[in-house]
């Protein structure tokens, strides 16, 4: 039996860096979303039609500015855009499907993820477990369904990749994009930022559709490898979460799509439905970090009850 991995000093150090860059990436997205508010959050489906109370009432002006973080975020993205190749993505999927790295319950995974807090950064927003609980709690306050609350609760558990041999940054966090076709300008820092990626210099891959068929559906494309794709694969195989929940997990960092509206030519009809779900999820992820810190022990029984409804007692990670 493979148990939870040991938290070594090396893992902690790598995790601290991940935590920092992850926060900075979020800050950039918060500011971008604020800048585009009212244009891209178009939730007109019956299920989502009620404008989120949480989203509109929140004081979004208290987030610290990110100027200092910009250089670090840019160099992080240059590395991510250089190393996320089609070949790398194929290799990671194959490797991850053939082994079980650990067996843990969802709650144990949350506790393990909590060790990723960056203790060296006094300005760090919140711990991982708190971010997960804040996301879920803000959905619960807004009366969102149980499956969505659970989705909020687990959406970043894929960051456990950090313990499974990831570099801990470019292959775990950051906005995602499609690999195997042209990199659109809508990706943060634009297509130029892929100049050093071998795929960028392969004309067969750099067509509009690349290795894909037009309107093949996003289920059939590969997104850059990281915590979203990893957790999506686990939840697809081991949970009873509905399709919208799986999409919230898989696409939550897919900003070129859910905010910038790129990749329309790869979408099918169902993706339009999934897009609404992902857009409804996004503000809870980005804006709940300033909420009062949740009391973990008080909330635990409620959320363990919810987890039980959608997951087996032990997950193969």
CB of 243 to Fe ion, least distance (A): 19
* Residue with Cβ nearer Fe ion (81 or 155): 155
CB of 238 to Fe ion, least distance (A): 19
Cα gap 290→286, rounded to integer Å:
9
Q: Closest by alpha carbon to 220, among 254, 179, 249, 182? A: 179
Is 19 a residue that touches Fe ion (CB under 5 A)?
no
Give the CA distances from residue 291 to residues 8, 56, 138, 147, 267, in Å, rounded to whole numbers and listed in that order. Answer: 31, 14, 9, 22, 35
# chain residues binding Fe ion, by CB under 5 A: 2
Rounded to a whole number of angstroms, the minimum distance from the CB of residue 289 to Fe ion is 9
User: Within positions 26 to 85, which residues make up the interface with Fe ion, using CB under 5 A?
Assistant: none
CB 244 within 8 A of CB 280: no
Q: Where on the phi/psi map is residue 291: left (φ > 0), alpha (ψ -120 to 50), or beta?
A: beta
Residue whose CB is less far from Fe ion, 156 or 291: 156
297 is in an annotated binding site: no
**Closest CA relative to residue 139, chosen from 252, 294, 285:** 285
118 binds Fe ion (CB under 5 A): no
142 labeled binding residue: no
Task: Determine if residue 265 is labeled as part of a ligand binding site.
Answer: no
**Region of residue 180 (left: phi > 0; alpha: psi -120 to 50; beta: else):** left
* 156 is an interface residue for Fe ion by CB under 5 A: yes
- Residue 132 CB, nearest distance to Fe ion (Å)? 8
Backbone φ/ψ region at 217: left (φ over 0), alpha (ψ -120 to 50), beta: left
The CB-of-160 to Fe ion minimum distance in angstroms stands at 12
At closest approach, how far in Å is the CB of 184 from Fe ion? 21
Please report whether residue 285 would count as binding Fe ion according to CB under 5 A.
yes
258 is in an annotated binding site: no
Which of 93-101, 146-154, 179-187, 284-292 is the region at the interface with Fe ion (rule: CB under 5 A)? 284-292
Alpha-carbon torsion (111, 113, 119, 121), positive or negative: negative
Segment lying near Fe ion (by CB under 5 A), choices 67-75, 92-100, 114-122, 281-289 = 281-289
Q: Is 159 annotated as a binding residue?
A: yes
Is 81 known as a binding-site position? no
Element (H, E) at 18: helix 9-35
The residue (of 156 and 171) whose beta carbon lies closer to Fe ion is: 156
Residue 285, marked binder = yes
Tell the smallest beta-carbon distance from residue 192 to Fe ion (Å). Answer: 25
Q: Binding segment for Fe ion among 46-54, 152-160, 205-213, 260-268 (CB under 5 A)? A: 152-160
Site mask for Fe ion (CB under 5 A), range 189-218, x = bound: ------------------------------
Of 267, 256, 14, nearest to 116 (Cα)? 14
Stretch that binds Fe ion, among 120-128, 201-209, 273-281, 282-290 (CB under 5 A): 282-290
Helix extents (H) in 142-268: 146-154, 227-238, 243-251, 255-258
| End-to-end alpha carbon distance in the chain | 12
If 0-12 CB within 10 Å is exposed, 13-18 middle and 19+ buried, where does residue 40 land? Answer: middle
Which residues participate in the annotated binding site for substrate? 64, 118-120, 159, 174-175, 252-253
Q: Which residues of the chain form contacts with Fe ion (CB under 5 A)?
A: 156, 285
Which residues participate in the annotated binding site for Fe cation? 131, 155-156, 227, 252, 285
């Amino acid at each position: 039996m493979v148990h939870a991995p040991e938290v070594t000093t090396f893992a902690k150090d790598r995790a601290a860096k991940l935590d920092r860059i992850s926060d900075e990436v979020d800050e950039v997205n918060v500011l971008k979303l604020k800048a585009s508010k009212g244009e891209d959050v178009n939730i007109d489906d019956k299920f989502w039609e009620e404008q989120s109370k949480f989203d509109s009432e929140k004081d979004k002006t208290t987030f610290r500015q990110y100027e200092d973080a910009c250089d670090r975020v840019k160099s992080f993205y240059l590395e991510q855009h250089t190393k996320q190749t089609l070949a790398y993505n194929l290799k990671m999927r194959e490797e991850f499907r053939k082994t079980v790295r650990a067996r843990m319950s969802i709650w144990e995974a949350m506790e393990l993820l909590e060790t990723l807090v960056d203790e060296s950064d006094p300005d760090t927003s919140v711990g991982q477990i708190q971010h997960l609980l804040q996301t879920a709690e803000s959905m619960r306050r807004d009366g969102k369904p149980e499956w969505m609350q659970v989705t909020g609760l687990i959406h970043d558990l894929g960051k456990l990749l950090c313990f499974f041999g990831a570099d801990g940054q470019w292959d775990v966090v950051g906005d995602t994009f499609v690999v195997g076709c042209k990199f659109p300008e809508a990706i943060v820092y634009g297509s130029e930022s892929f100049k050093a990626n071998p795929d960028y210099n392969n004309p067969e891959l750099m067509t509009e559709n690349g290795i894909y068929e037009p309107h093949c559906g996003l289920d059939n494309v590969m997104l850059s490898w990281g915590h979203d794709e990893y957790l999506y694969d686990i939840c697809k195989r081991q949970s009873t979460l509905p399709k919208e929940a799986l999409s919230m997990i898989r696409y939550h960092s897919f900003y070129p799509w859910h905010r910038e509206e790129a990749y329309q030519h790869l979408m099918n009809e169902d993706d339009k439905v999934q897009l609404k779900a992902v857009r409804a999820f996004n503000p809870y992820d980005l804006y709940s970090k300033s909420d009062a810190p949740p009391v973990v022990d008080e909330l635990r029984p409620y959320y363990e009850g919810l987890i039980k409804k959608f997951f087996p007692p032990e997950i193969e990670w």
